[in-house]
């Protein structure tokens, strides 16, 4: 979709602190983090809602949630916590996305996007 900010991030038209990418999904840090390491996980193909992601074929909903799990487990290691939260979103940006983020009691600087992205990437 031409005007979708997440589609522009997928196309690398807008910079992002990417922590994970494969052929179907992209995970990057939120620019207004709720806590250090707050990550948005999106399908590269534009779907309005998470519930629109197909159940069959490449890039299906099961694969999507496996990516969310991979990011959450990396955050657990990166931020030394077992308290990882998730939210299925879609109201602020009209593109399916899942938030995965450590509890806000973890130590770290939420504004250190590059440092937090590196910590997550190193633990995937």
- Quick check: 19 and 27 in contact, CB under 8 A? yes
Spatial separation of the C-alpha atoms in residues 65 and 102, rounded to whole Å: 17
> Which of 17, 38, 95, 97 is the catalytic position?
97
Q: What is the mean pLDDT of each run of 10 residues along the chain (124 residues)?
A: 92 97 98 97 97 97 98 97 92 94 92 97 98
What's the CATH code of the domain at 67?
3.30.428.10
Contact yes or no for 104/84 (Cβ under 8 A): no
How many domains are there within the chain? 1
Supply the pTM of this predicted model.
Answer: 0.95
Q: Which domain holds residue 106?
A: 5-122
Active site annotation includes 17: no
């Amino acid at each position: 979709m031409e005007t979708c900010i997440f589609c522009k991030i997928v196309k690398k038209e807008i910079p992002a602190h990417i922590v994970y990418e494969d052929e179907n999904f992209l995970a990057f840090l939120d620019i207004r983090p709720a806590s250090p390491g707050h990550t948005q996980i999106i399908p590269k193909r534009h779907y309005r809602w998470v519930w629109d992601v197909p159940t069959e074929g490449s890039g299906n909903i099961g694969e999507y949630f496996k990516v969310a799990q991979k990011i959450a487990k990396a955050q657990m290691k990166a931020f030394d916590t077992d308290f990882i939260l998730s939210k299925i979103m879609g109201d602020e940006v009209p593109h399916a996305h899942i938030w995965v983020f450590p509890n806000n009691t973890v130590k770290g600087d939420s504004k250190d996007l590059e440092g937090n992205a590196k910590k997550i990437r190193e633990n995937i």
